Amino acid sequence: MIKRKKSGELIIISGTTCAGKGTVVKELLKRNENLKVSISYTTRAKRDGEIDGEDYFFVQTDEFENMIANGEFLEYAKVQYDKYYGTSKTQVKKMLDDGYDVILEIDVQGAQQIKEMFPQTILIFIMAPSMSEVKRRIKARGKETKEQIIERFTVAYREINEISKYNYVVVNDNLDDTVSKVEAILISEKCRVDRIEEISVENQEEIIHEFLIDKDFNNEPLKIED
Ligand code: 5GP
């Protein structure tokens, strides 16, 4: 009765530094076969443990700028420390055409660009329980200089000020609850009337006619015994 679009939905997941959005996305992918994540291109250096083509496609600045010139990005931005990050147009188009819902794990600038192009996009912002918890997590990670940490905080506070551009905000104080909340958002969004392509019901006169000639229908009024 309800015909849905064949192509998938675009979902943006942004969030403050150390909010755990990467882990949330990994868990969502594990639990939902119909979800895929877009692997971004970046000019930042690969961190320990990261895999090229899995975490990001790591490229040089001139290669990234050539891709910009060739219109290969759906969106791109300079996010931190003047490094480029961008979403591949062909990669995302292929996944959507194949019917997958596609997560873009991108920053607020990228989210804004995508929202302007595709207003139907579902925008979710993941927050850490508090900024002091973020401070604790960054210190515990112990991988960055004080300048880098300050830059992270500056970006985080700037992003929190942009939360009104998102449709949903989820505080990640427990991974399981957070993933369930995001799944609930996606389920509700799928039921939205404006995401349905067509609703077709059987012809009204035919249905009434079938009903009127139905010999099996017992027309006795219902008697309720005292
Ligand atoms: P990180 O360097 O810690 O992996 O990511 C830094 C920030 O870049 C995160 O907020 C992440 O969401 C954002 N980011 C990752 N990929 C993209 C992208 O393709 N486009 C944009 N605009 N931001 C991205």
Does 201 reside within a domain?
A: no
Show the domain range for 111.
2-192
Domains contained in the chain, number: 1
Does 211 reside within a domain?
A: no
Total residue length of the chain: 226
pTM reported for the whole predicted model: 0.89
Please name every residue paired with 117 in a beta bridge, in sequence order, or none if there are none.
none
Residue 73 neighbours by CB distance under 10 Å: 21
**Pairing, β 41-42 against β 84-88:** antiparallel
Per-residue pLDDT tens for 128-185? 999 888 888 888 877 778 888 888 888 888 888 999 999 999 999 999 999 999 999 9
- Atom of ligand 1 at shortest range from CA of 87: 19
Pocket test for ligand 1, best of 24, 92, 106, 113 (most atoms within 8 A of CB): 106
Backbone dihedral angles phi then psi of residue 76, each to the nearest 5 degrees: -155, 160
d(CA 110, CA 145) in angstroms, rounded, equals 26
Does 98 reside within a domain?
A: yes
- Distance from the alpha carbon of residue 105 to the mean position of ligand 1, in angstroms: 7
Mean pLDDT for the stretch of residues 67-88: 94
Per-residue pLDDT tens for 12-54? 999 988 889 999 999 999 999 999 999 999 999 998 889 999 9
Does 221 reside within a domain?
A: no
Q: Is the CB of 77 under 6 A from ligand 1?
A: yes
Does 209 reside within a domain?
A: no
Does 21 reside within a domain?
A: yes
Residue 17 neighbours by CB distance under 10 Å: 18
Mean pLDDT taken over the chain: 91
Q: Is 39 exposed, middle or buried (0-12, 13-18, 19+ CB in 10 A)?
A: middle
Domain CATH for 112:
3.40.50.300
- Atom of ligand 1 at shortest range from CA of 109: 22
Q: Is the CB of 106 under 6 A from ligand 1?
A: yes
Does 206 reside within a domain?
A: no
Inter-residue contact 123 to 165 (CB < 8 Å):
yes
pLDDT for the residue 118? 94
Does 226 reside within a domain?
A: no
Q: Which residue has the higher pLDDT, 73 or 154?
A: 73
d(CA 179, CA 117) in angstroms, rounded, equals 27
